Structure formats: structure tokens, C-alpha cells
Amino acid sequence: MPEATNQAQVAGICTEIAQARTARTAKVLSEAPVSAQGALARAFSGSASPRAAIKAMCLTCVGFDRLEVKNCSAYGCPLWAYRPFQD
């Protein structure tokens, strides 16, 4: 029976993680400007293109300011070279 208990524990942890992610997603969406909510919702759901998901992440990181994305100084970020709004 230890294996069944372990599976139940794993299932419980997975449920907790899913609930935490849902709550965090809802919080981010509620705090985002209306103009960004659709893109964020698509990124969170997995239906956005990689490029659109990067755009959503960058905008979220800098408080939804396009100029801040363009002038981003987070050179250590793995998405820095792919950030949107570059000339």
C-alpha cells in the first residue's frame, strides 16, 4: 500500500500546484492593463506563439511599459536578446 499512498500524495501536490498557478494567473490578469489582458491570457493558456509569450513576459516584468522593454538592462535574462520593441 505504500505505493498507493505515494501516488495520492503526488496527486495532492499536483492539485495544490495547479490551484496556486490558477490563483497567480488570475492575480496577474486582474492587475494588468486591459490592453495586455488578452495577450497574457493566451500566454498563460499556452495558445500564444513563442514570440507572443516572450512579449507578455517582458511586458509583465517591466510593468507593461513598452519603452522599458526596449531599454531593458536585464542582460542576464535569457529572453533579453529576444525582447520585443527593439528597433
Over 70: is that where the pLDDT of 1 sits? Answer: no
What is the domain partition of the chain in residue ranges?
2-82
56: nearest Cα among 75, 78, 74, 38? 38
pLDDT one-digit tens code per residue, 47-76:
999 999 999 999 999 999 999 999 999 999
Its pTM stands at 0.77
Over 70: is that where the pLDDT of 41 sits? Answer: yes
Cβ contact 72:83 at 8 Å: yes
Q: What is the dihedral of CA 37, 43, 48, 49, to 10 degrees?
A: 120
